[in-house]
Structure 1
């Protein structure tokens, strides 16, 4: 592709899906990278400066919703296009509240992904035809149903890693903090949510689409 082609970053933890997206998109765009977790997506976005990020909801280490929010805070001009199996209207509405320009289901035709990328590059919103646009637009204007303001951004990161089964030392290594600090965050999370066990934390994370069931 020409050097002035729009730059695309693909973020999906399923290698086959990510590579298929790369092959499909690189016929018209410059695919500057493919990553498989949310934290790498945030870091790569800041380094590679893509015009569009095609991202899944369910990713390890940091989910797509939280990753998108962090990227938009650092790079307001970047376009976020979710490509996911998650057809919940509430999740789609939350994605737009986090700064998404588009929400596409993986059941779509391959050509629709290219169409969606072109649309968001032109400043338009794009929603899969199988989803109800009016309902999503209504919900996105209401108070968030998924974003729980009782937890800070850092606490959400710690909670996701706990729900993925990582021990405190692993979490500390990933988030560059001491084990004692991780333990403190866990205590505050449990206090804020009224949780009394790890199982309750996992259920909360699943219910809020931070991890898959």
Structure 2
């Protein structure tokens, strides 16, 4: 057994393997391009403010259960399970001046939830690889309504100017953003833009799970 997952659940866990978009990490099937040059249609149409993003799991089956349990079910024991998976993907993304930073929650949302699951993932990752971590580098300065059941355009509009960064923390640093799940990329984009605006030299993203197609219900 791997900590919080039984053997049967581990077998059903949808790890991302094979070619992925080098920008957003979404699996790309049927391509003849070399993996280092693959960019999906969505990223070609909508340029991202970060360099590259990677995800451990497809947001399906066991992965969906893990993310929802982390976010809403107080299952922080699952952090210990997924940290080694995230560590493998993080290693090639880190630079000498990298800082591991979680996507922030608004203080009211964090008070209601009692913790920020992205911060728990980022902190565990930093401990596992002995790398600098800054929980307060980014701030959600404007409360937004839930992104669930929102279109891509609505998500980006809601998050515009909702996140700021501390220049003293992110200035002249490469930022590795950590989040639990990526759907449209709106939250990661707002976070990356805030970091870059405050002097970060670059941003890459690492998420536990990736929705393969925009799902308004996520």
Shorter-chain TM-score above 0.5: no
TM-score, normalised by the number of residues in structure 2: 0.31
Using CA pairs under 8 Å that are at least 6 residues apart, name the structure with larger relative contact order, 1 or 2. 2
Greater share of helix: 1
